[in-house]
Amino acid sequence: MSRELISAIEQISREKGIDQGKIVAAVETAIETAARKRYPNDGNIQATLDTRSGEVEIVSFKAVVEEDDMEDPTTEISLERALEADPDAEIGDEVGFLLEMAGFGRIAAQAAKQVIFQQVREAEWEAIYGEYTGREGQLVTGMILGQERRNYIVELGRTEALLPASEQIPREVYRRGDRIRALLLEVRETPRGPQLILSRNSPLFVQKLFEMEVPEIAEGIVTIQAIARDAGDRTKMAVWSRERGVDPVGACVGMKGSRVQAVVRELHGEKIDIISWTDDPQRFIAEALSPAEIDRVGITEDEHSAIVIVRDDQLSLAIGKKGQNVRLASRLTGWNLDILSESEYREDAFEGKDEELEAALLDHARAKAQGLTDAEALFSNFPDAPAEGAAEEAARKAKADSAPEAAEAGASAPGNAAKQPADDEPKRASE
């Protein structure tokens, strides 16, 4: 052994990102394994590597016992023989004997080599697991190495990750060498080392993309309250602002749609609907069903369900292709939604609606007809009070606009409630 061994250890430490002390311990363990094969009559063998000179010292330790009490000659030595090596030896002491490294042989050397490889590999696995286990839920960037059973193998620098078919965006195809961005979904411990699982179809992937593109989200000014996604087709996202002067939807859309378009490009054209979040379930449900225009929403708290009434020409838009729009809206809001057209509701096609639901529909119609006569409704999404004078002026305008509709709604049945004023239209962005 010489300085070349230390140089090799330092190189492995740099390339693999492993602590040098762990590699030294692995080498010592390997030498001990080889020494036990070379010296089968010496049980307690310890090897020490001098990290400055590269020299290795192999010592066999044996316990000093009376000759009549000696049971295991591989780990025990009589007092008489111990005194030959150490004149100060006493019963119960441990005496060390220096062993020669020469003549280890090919088998012993091969065993040492295998132990070193195994120890270094385990140390490397431990380092990778420690690095990535704290990054679960974050975005990572890598390069496609190939495909195996529809699963992509992605190189992440020091290690490889797996993008399973179940976590891919439908219809996306990659080639070897393509760069890819994905969500680090999970880090699993396996007998063959840590396995990193990536995802591109998780709703959290879209959320992390917006956190990267929108400074207001990264700073916590705008928060993503809920998100629902059909990967590859459409995403609905509800956002809310902690500051009255910041428009959450506008912040996510960006100047001329630059921010949302950056996310859409990463998702290869997936449509994204961004709406304002509110704690009013009726208004939230109406906004979640955008781009359809909603007339009335009635909710049943006990069943956590809602009946949505729309104009006949808005029914297909509210339901969406293959029910996608209403399905995403239901997942976004957490309410079970049932959509009826105006004509279906008038013909009483929805039999068995209870008094609570009927009252909710009527209350929603009246609230829409009254519009923004209550100045506080203008700023229901913001915790701070409106600027002085702004609320009063907006309330007077809303009252003047909605007065004819309020009179009509007050005299009509729930099925003939007035259309929602333009000022109360939900904010949304659809790309």
pLDDT in tens, the chain (431 residues): 456 677 777 877 777 777 788 888 888 888 887 787 777 777 788 888 887 777 778 888 888 887 767 777 777 777 777 777 777 777 878 777 777 766 555 655 566 667 777 777 888 888 888 889 888 999 999 999 999 989 999 999 888 999 999 999 998 999 999 999 999 999 988 888 889 999 999 999 999 999 999 999 999 999 999 999 999 999 999 999 999 889 999 999 999 999 999 999 999 999 999 999 999 999 999 999 989 998 888 888 888 899 899 999 999 999 999 999 999 999 999 999 989 888 887 775 455 555 555 566 666 655 655 554 443 433 333 334 344 444 444 444 444 444 444 333 333 333 333 333 334 444 444 44
Please check whether residues 269 and 302 belong to one and the same domain: no
* 3-class DSSP state of 290: coil
Please check whether residues 231 and 315 belong to one and the same domain: no
* 3-class DSSP state of 242: coil
End-of-domain residue from the set 85, 108, 131: 131
Please check whether residues 98 and 193 belong to one and the same domain: no
Q: Which residues have a Cβ under 8 Å from the Cβ of 344 and sit 6 or more positions away?
A: 350
Pairwise CA distance, residues 31 & 34, whole Å: 5
The CATH number of the domain where 251 resides is what?
3.30.300.20
End-of-domain residue from the set 78, 107, 131: 131
Pairwise CA distance, residues 175 & 171, whole Å: 13
* 3-class DSSP state of 360: helix
The alpha helices in 268-376, defined as continuous H runs, are 281-288, 315-319, 324-333, 342-346, 355-370
Pairwise CA distance, residues 276 & 288, whole Å: 9
Please check whether residues 142 and 76 belong to one and the same domain: no
The alpha helices in 163-295, defined as continuous H runs, are 203-213, 215-218, 248-253, 258-266, 281-288
Pairwise CA distance, residues 237 & 48, whole Å: 61
**β-sheet bridge partners, residue 95:** 62
Query: Phi and psi for 410 in degrees, rounded to 5?
Result: -65, -25
Supply the pLDDT for residue 189: 86
Q: pTM of the entire structure?
A: 0.64
Please check whether residue 273 is in contact with residue 324, taking contact to mean a CB–CB distance below 8 angstroms.
no
Please check whether residues 64 and 27 belong to one and the same domain: yes
Please check whether residues 248 and 349 belong to one and the same domain: no
Please check whether residues 370 and 410 belong to one and the same domain: yes
Please check whether residues 345 and 391 belong to one and the same domain: yes
Supply the pLDDT for residue 343: 85
Supply the pLDDT for residue 121: 81
> What is the helix (H) or strand (E) element at residue 309, kind and residue range?
strand 305-310
Domain limits at 326?
283-431
Please check whether residues 144 and 62 belong to one and the same domain: no
Pairwise CA distance, residues 353 & 361, whole Å: 11
Of 253, 335, 244, 321, nearest in space to 287 by CA? 335
Please check whether residues 251 and 179 belong to one and the same domain: no
* 3-class DSSP state of 236: strand
Angle of CA points 206, 129, 18, to nearest 5°: 130
Query: Phi and psi for 27 in degrees, rounded to 5?
Result: -65, -45
Pairwise CA distance, residues 31 & 54, whole Å: 13
Please check whether residue 186 is in contact with residue 136, taking contact to mean a CB–CB distance below 8 angstroms.
yes
Pairwise CA distance, residues 314 & 311, whole Å: 5
Other CB atoms within 10 A of residue 114 CB: 12
The first and second tokens of residue 225, run together, are: 């309250």
Matching residue, tokens 């939604």: 337
Matching residue, tokens 């330790």: 61
Please check whether residues 302 and 383 belong to one and the same domain: yes
Please check whether residues 381 and 354 belong to one and the same domain: yes
Order of strands, sheet of 222-230, starting from the edge strand that comes earlier in the sequence: 222-230, 234-241, 271-276, 428-430
The total of structural domains in the chain comes to 4
Supply the pLDDT for residue 376: 41
* 3-class DSSP state of 420: coil
Other CB atoms within 10 A of residue 225 CB: 17
Supply the pLDDT for residue 362: 61
Supply the pLDDT for residue 428: 44
End-of-domain residue from the set 151, 178, 200: 200
Supply the pLDDT for residue 427: 43
